[in-house]
Amino acid sequence: MKEKLSLYDYLHKEGIDYNLIQILKPLFTHREYRKGEMILHMGENTKVVCLILQGIARGVYIDTEGKEITKCFSKEGDWCCVYNMLTNRPSEFWIEALEDCQVEEIAVEQLRGLLNMSQQLRMLYEKLYNNAFVQIDEKGALFQKMQGRERYLYFINKYPDIAKRVKQEYIASYIGITPSSLSRIKREL
Q: What is the β-pairing status of strands 79-80 and 57-62?
A: unpaired
- Cβ neighbors of 123 (< 8 A, separation 6 or more) are 15
- For the chain, which residues score pLDDT lower than 50? none
What pLDDT is attached to residue 29? Answer: 96
Single-letter residue type at 41:
H
Q: What is the β-pairing status of strands 48-54 and 101-107?
A: antiparallel
What pLDDT is attached to residue 141? Answer: 79
CATH numbers and ranges of domains, the chain: 7-119 (2.60.120.10)
How far is the C-alpha of 183 from the C-alpha of 127, rounded, in Å?
36
- pTM for the model stands at 0.89
How far is the C-alpha of 138 from the C-alpha of 25, rounded, in Å?
33
| Phi, psi for 188 (deg, rounded to 5) | -75, -20
What pLDDT is attached to residue 74? Answer: 95
